[in-house]
């Protein structure tokens, strides 16, 4: 498949299936156990119908896409979620993701388990050294190591630390195991809110917990003073039958909507189309992460990543226009019918 033939984000997976070897493709594609969460992440978006408004002046919609994430300016309310081993798709690995994000002016969150070193990823910013990156981490219970890691991250110029909290143990990954692909992420059950306070004293950077899956934990995060949270079930790769981030956002909306005003809320999992982004934003999510499609787009190198950004940006704009949203900042829950039903 050629890059010109790609018209939507799902096409990148189709291309990657042809271009990557089976075990590398399987590592990206994999979900935990029966992959119910993996599928639900994708399917949940069609369970909630849009409620388009007509006769609305939408001529300025494109100019309302830019947003800030923790005060940093970006051209769109979506970003590249942290995914390990970009080198499986292309020898340029994470460097391509940095360049694609720079070209499209969106945020890239780099994974701790990258194929390139932190220095190589930082160097990929090249002429665009003002580019803002966030750094994802898995932590051990060794404070000396953590302090050293945080210092490296600060020195590299990352603007925030994204702390993955949904991986207290390894993901139960049958698909990967069948192909003999390693699936291990860190196990650190020792990670608690008490420990978070110790961690936050080790760095001046904001620490964003990634993998919040209930309104209770969102509330606890706020009470413990975080600046932002990320709703995620790790792309359905950790614990199967966990909710999609849209369902968690809806739970927060129903039970404690102030959370959306108290901290910045990000969300990822299964986002493939412009309308998916709109549904998350309508509940109060500030920015939406995309994982696999960007990883797959990297089979075409930085150009592929750049095209993926362009496609999603275009879809967000035209879908918002067709939904009758004049200003993306003013999208609200009334644009979606939240009565979940398949009975049409
Ligand atoms: C991930 N994800 C992930 N998350 C994280 O916090 N640290 C990591 O190192 C990784 N690694 C990783 C590798 C691969 C190949 C995938 C597909 C995912 C999870 C990622 O950040 C994100 O939550 C999901 O990918 C979002 O779901 P979609 O967009 O892939 O459906």
pLDDT of the residue at 340 = 76
Average pLDDT over the chain reads 95
Give every CB contact of residue 245 below 8 A, 6+ residues apart in sequence: 41, 231, 232, 233, 267, 268, 269, 280, 285
Give every CB contact of residue 60 below 8 A, 6+ residues apart in sequence: 326, 327
pLDDT tens digits, one per residue of 112-124: 999 999 999 999 9
CB of 77 sitting under 6 A from ligand 1:
no
- What distance in angstroms lies between residue 82's CA and the mean position of ligand 1's atoms? 6
pLDDT tens digits, one per residue of 323-332: 999 999 999 9
- Known binding residue 38? Answer is no
Q: Which listed residue (90, 174, 234, 314) is catalytic?
A: 234
Does 344 score more than 50 pLDDT?
A: no
For residues 302 and 94, give the distance between their C-alpha atoms in angstroms, rounded to a whole number: 9
CB of 164 sitting under 6 A from ligand 1:
yes
pLDDT tens digits, one per residue of 8-39: 999 999 999 999 999 999 999 999 999 999 99
- Known binding residue 129? Answer is no
pLDDT tens digits, one per residue of 63-96: 999 999 999 999 999 999 999 999 999 999 999 9
CB of 111 sitting under 6 A from ligand 1:
yes
- What distance in angstroms lies between residue 343's CA and the mean position of ligand 1's atoms? 32
Atom of ligand 1 nearest to the CA of 167: 6
pLDDT tens digits, one per residue of 160-189: 999 999 988 888 888 888 887 765 555 559
Is ipTM over 0.90?
yes
Reported pTM: 0.97
CB of 290 sitting under 6 A from ligand 1:
yes
* Whole-number percent of the chain with pLDDT over 70: 97
């Amino acid at each position: 498949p050629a890059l010109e033939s790609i018209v939507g984000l799902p096409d990148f997976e189709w291309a990657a299936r042809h271009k990557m070897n089976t075990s590398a493709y399987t590592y990206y594609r994999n979900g935990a156990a029966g992959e119910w969460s993996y599928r639900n992440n994708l399917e949940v978006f069609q369970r909630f119908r849009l409620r388009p408004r007509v006769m609305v002046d939408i001529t300025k919609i494109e100019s309302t896409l830019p947003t800030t994430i923790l005060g940093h300016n970006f051209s769109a309310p979506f970003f590249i979620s942290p995914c390990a081993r970009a080198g499986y798709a292309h020898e340029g690995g994470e460097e391509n993701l940095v360049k694609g994000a720079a070209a499209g002016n969106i945020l890239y969150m780099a994974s701790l388990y990258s194929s390139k070193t932190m220095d190589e990823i930082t160097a990929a910013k090249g002429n665009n050294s003002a580019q803002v990156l966030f750094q994802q981490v898995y932590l051990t219970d060794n404070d000396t190591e953590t302090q050293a890691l945080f210092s490296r991250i600060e020195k590299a110029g990352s603007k925030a630390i994204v702390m993955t909290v949904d991986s207290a143990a390894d993901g139960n990954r049958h698909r990967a195991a069948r192909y003999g692909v390693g699936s291990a992420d860190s196990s650190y059950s020792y990670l608690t809110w008490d420990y978070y306070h110790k961690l936050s004293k080790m760095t001046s950077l904001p620490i964003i917990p990634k993998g919040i899956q209930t309104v209770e934990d969102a509330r606890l995060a706020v009470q413990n003073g975080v600046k932002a949270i990320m709703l995620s079930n790790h792309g359905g790769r950790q614990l199967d039958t966990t909710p999609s981030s849209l369902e968690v956002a809806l739970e927060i909306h129903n039970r404690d909507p102030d959370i959306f005003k108290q901290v910045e809320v990000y969300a990822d999992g299964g986002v493939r189309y412009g309308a998916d982004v709109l549904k998350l934003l309508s509940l109060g999510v500030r920015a939406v992460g995309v994982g696999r499609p960007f990883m797959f787009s990297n089979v075409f190198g930085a150009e592929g990543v750049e095209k993926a950004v362009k496609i999603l940006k275009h879809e967000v704009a035209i879908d918002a226009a067709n939904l009758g949203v004049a200003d993306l900042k003013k999208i609200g829950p009334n644009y979606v019918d939240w009565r979940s039903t398949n009975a049409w």
